[in-house]
Amino acid sequence: MSPTRHAGPAQLAEMIAGSLRGRVEEAFPVAPLTTYRLGGKAELYVEPAGAHDLVALGRALKEAGVAAGEIPILALGRGSNLVISDEGLPGIVLRMGPAFSWIEPRPEHPGLVAGASTPLPQVANWAARRGLSGLEWLVSIPGSVGGAVRMNAGAHGGETAGALVTATVFDLDELALVKRPPASLHFAYRRSSLTERDVVVEATFELDRDNVARIKARMENYRKHRAQTQPGALQNAGSVFKNPEGDSSGRLVEAAGLKGFSVGGASVSDLHANFFMAGPQASAQDVYDLVHTVRALVRDRFGVELEPEIRFAGRFRPAAGAEVADGG
């Protein structure tokens, strides 16, 4: 539901801006904040200056007469697995900006504590320089700490849940900062139980000590593997589908003869079939249509239902190609 039920965007923005130290803007273009660089504007954009702004935001929403959950809130990290609708987004896009990008040593034990917006490759390099092992695989993921916790990011046999000690989460409904152990986050393959009303603020990771040279060698192998097997500079959002148990989504898409397959300005990569590219003329709807058409074609060919790993935010039209493949 849009904020216009209780107050217009301008009125709500004014109320929020009067409570926060951080950035509050209306009709804000958020496409540049995603790796696809597609989509429309956010009705309201909020970039907190610290945890105190999260508390202030929750209070401002309640003072505006908005019941819990009535205003959609999308927590945005580095936008590396997100496609925003061409129509834009109603409600609030909440982005953890520079104030949440930092790394500190873990007190008393090997490890580190990092803010939610800290880039994952930066975390991997920080740990490597200090002889801390366990997060080398982060070097190949263009996401943020908050996104890694929310989606249980993983690569090269590692995943966030394996090293996480606690995640500090702010509940926008209860206005409370809570330290959550991994067991309470119900981690599964590329998912957790966190909702859009749960904002990751920081995360603590337990690591092992190892030789710096060995750690950096592993990281370099991960970098080389990514460069050799995945498209780099082109607009994409990483892996499109989660791997089904015992198989590879990329293998299934390729086996269906879909490398290079395109819808509008979006196409399946010729290098890795689980990466979808957005060309210069692509729209967010093109990406949506391509994902759902490929999903339907793979299901029709192999009887396997691929689950998208990337997220779609906002309103999208049903994918015509998917309807045809479904027999609709």
Q: Which domains does the chain have, with CATH numbers?
A: 3-95 (3.30.43.10), 100-216 (3.30.465.10), 249-325 (3.90.78.10)
Q: At 51, is the secondary structure helix, strand, or coil?
A: helix
List 24's β-bridge partners, or say none. Answer: 46
Half-sphere exposure of 104 (CA within 13 A, CB side): 10
Question: How far is it, in rounded angstroms, from Cα 96 to Cα 160?
Answer: 19
Question: How far is it, in rounded angstroms, from Cα 201 to Cα 172?
Answer: 12
Q: What is the pLDDT of residue 77?
A: 84
C-alpha separations of 327 from 301, 302, 324 in Å: 13, 16, 5
List 205's β-bridge partners, or say none. Answer: 112, 164
Catalytic residue, chosen from 95, 180, 190, 295, is 190
CB neighbour list of residue 132: distance below 8 Å, 6 or more residues apart: 110, 111, 112, 207, 208, 209, 210, 215
5 flagged as catalytic: no
- Answer for the pair 306, 249: CB distance below 8 angstroms, yes or no: yes
List 267's β-bridge partners, or say none. Answer: 262, 277
Q: What is the pLDDT of residues 208-244, one digit of tens each?
A: 999 999 999 999 999 898 878 777 655 667 789 999 9
Q: What is the pLDDT of residue 193?
A: 96
- Number of Cβ atoms within 10 Å of the Cβ of 167: 28
Catalytic residue, chosen from 239, 249, 267, 269, is 239
267 flagged as catalytic: no
98, exposed or middle or buried, with CB in 10 Å at 0-12, 13-18, 19+? exposed
pLDDT < 70 positions in the chain: 1-8, 65-69, 232-236, 321-328
Beta strands 176-180 and 164-171 are antiparallel
Angle (nearest 5°) at CA 185 between 181 and 190: 125
301 flagged as catalytic: no
pTM: 0.85
